[in-house]
Amino acid sequence: MTRRVDLALHLVTDDRLNADALLSIVDAAVDGGVTVVQLRDKRVTAAELIRRARMLSDVIAGRVPLLIDDRVDVALAAIDAGARVDGVHLGQHDIPPTTARRVLGPDAVIGWTANTAAHLQAAHAMPDGTLDYLGVGVIRPTITKADHPPALGIEGFAERAAATPLACVAIGGVGPDDVAALRRAGAAGVAVVSAISGAADPAAAAGAFAVAARGRGSGTADGAVR
């Protein structure tokens, strides 16, 4: 089954925000042009993540997909509680994407962090239809992920993107002025945290990214693009 998702602009939520600020910023950012929201918070309990997923689902109201970072269990529990959760983004130390696909089903959106050549090889070894996109980075050093791998830069990202038929989303220290170059380098989209969440006007910040992201076609992925 084909899964269509506009990968152009991901907002990865900032775990430094309280729940009220989180909802306000996400609502504004979606209005501004964010095309995917990813709930990421490694500091709260599973119960709190489920609560936030349910609240975000209400705020987003189906305008864009809502993904849960790392936690397939939280995604399932939020869905069971009535939230609209569209999938997950998984890291190298999380549940295998093949397991997540079996558990979440054919319609879920599943992304996977893949920063090295070995990660790309592992992604290519997965059955067709497992992955919808790869998160590739970091582009530049960023304070929002203290344990990030060495920065790739735009040229390094281009090498990774050229080495895989899977859609690649650039993440890590990305600003609006980087988007055009990243799209030319093969990015299906970009993912940002503080550049939107920390902005005085999140809707305007999202709008600046969205305009840049639309400068070279759509970032739509049709299922597992392999």
Strands 220-222 and 4-6: antiparallel
Residue 56 annotated as part of some ligand binding site: no
| Phi-psi category of residue 12: left, alpha or beta, with phi > 0 → left and psi -120 to 50 → alpha | beta
Among candidate residues 75, 107, 68, 108, the one with its CA nearest the CA of residue 91: 68
Residue 122 CB coordination number (10 Å)? 15
Q: Which residue has the tokens 């650039």?
A: 170
220 labelled as ligand-binding? no
> Is 44 annotated in some ligand binding site?
no
Is 166 assigned to a binding site? no
Whether residue 38 is annotated as binding a ligand: the answer is yes
Give the integer Cα–Cα distance in Å for 138 and 65: 23
Is 173 annotated as ligand-binding? Answer: yes
40 is in an annotated binding site: yes
Question: Is 145 annotated as belonging to a binding site?
Answer: yes
75, 78, 85 from 81: Cα distances, Å: 10, 5, 10
Q: Find out whether 57 is annotated in a ligand binding site.
A: no
Nearest residue to 27 via CA among 212, 203, 175: 203
Between helix 19-32 and helix 202-213 the angle, nearest 10°, is 40
Binding residues, by number, are 38-42, 69-70, 94, 113, 142-145, 173, 193-194
Binding residues for Mg(2+): 70, 94
